Structure 1
């Protein structure tokens, strides 16, 4: 089992290193009666995809969750939520599959590549009598790739151009209004 987990972690790390222009992180999740590993990959600006492998003494569950991240205060704190699917196996009940929701907060610690988080991940099992689960977990992730200086510069330049366009539009509106006023006042 340890070899499988280490192999999965190595594959995730290698994949994340190939896509460094996105934020990627791997880490562990700890719940009341479970532990797990997870990998996050930023897809676009506020969206990420997280793969989770949760383990308990008599079961395991693999989950894929697309998530939307929203900044709370500053760039380090995020609120996130999403929905996805899971599959797994329990010793007594056999295989299961179903749907998941997730909602939580995370904090990227400044100056070190670590993200701390906590979330609630309710899941609905379609094919079992134990049909609903409501785990609360705490997680710690190591950031593999972060936003580069070049990307931040590009974003700042884009924001500046957008602001300049907005100012030009406002100036044109004011000029049109002045011209309209002059034309109507001459009559």
Structure 2
């Protein structure tokens, strides 16, 4: 009985979120990352560039020996509604990182830091947008190309972003710009030239 009640409650709230679905255009906030070597705190910013497609920038650091910047192109797809979606993406990263290498002969771990690194990043996650806040959990693998001994590192991240521009507002601005552009294209060239001289006179 409790399971049925829980299921009905979830369906009810999901239907409400479908009716009120609203995505964001711009969102900025904090991201907390964790991997097997260290934890990071950072800034994250997402900008919707077209339907379902977002760019994200992440600047994160452990404030000791690891600081990285990552730029990602992400595809968002709704699960229940536009408020609850999954996303995946790819990008690149630059940073300064420490590295740990196991020496099999001596059974020691060699530790270095101050390494300038560059790599390819992937990301996959879930995101929920409620009350002008986007909360997400993701997994972000990093494939190292330069500067670090470990070829692969995975990071789990939790982000909370404040919605600065809603998608409806962004779409309105885009439509206004498009209308203005269409109007300027419809005006004949000789009329545009005449209007310039009339303004000067």
Higher share of residues assigned strand:
2
The offset of 1:90, in angstroms, is 2.2
Q: Please tell me the root mean square deviation across aligned C-alpha atoms, in Å.
A: 2.1
Quick one: distance in 2 between partners of 1:83 and 1:131? 17
Q: Is the 8 A contact 2:25 2:170 kept in 1?
A: no
- Give secondary structure in 1 for the equivalent of 2:167: coil
Which residue of structure 2 aligns with residue 37 of structure 1?
A: 43
TM-score (norm 2): 0.61
Quick one: distance in 1 between partners of 2:170 and 2:30? 30
Q: Which runs of structure 2 are paired with 1:51-70 in the superposition (5 Å)?
A: 51-56=57-62, 57-70=64-77
The offset of 1:130, in angstroms, is 2.2
- Give secondary structure in 2 for the equivalent of 1:122: strand
Q: Is the 8 A contact 2:44 2:56 kept in 1?
A: yes
Deviations 1:36-70 (A, max 9, x none): 11100000011000000111231100000000000
Give unmatched runs, 5+ long, in structure 2: 1-23, 99-112, 176-201
Higher share of residues assigned helix:
1
Matched, 1:121 2:140: yes
Q: Which runs of structure 2 are paired with 1:46-125 in the superposition (5 Å)?
A: 46-56=52-62, 57-90=64-97, 92-109=113-130, 112-125=131-144
Give unmatched runs, 5+ long, in structure 1: 1-21, 156-187
Q: Is the 8 A contact 2:26 2:45 kept in 1?
A: yes
The offset of 1:145, in angstroms, is 0.1
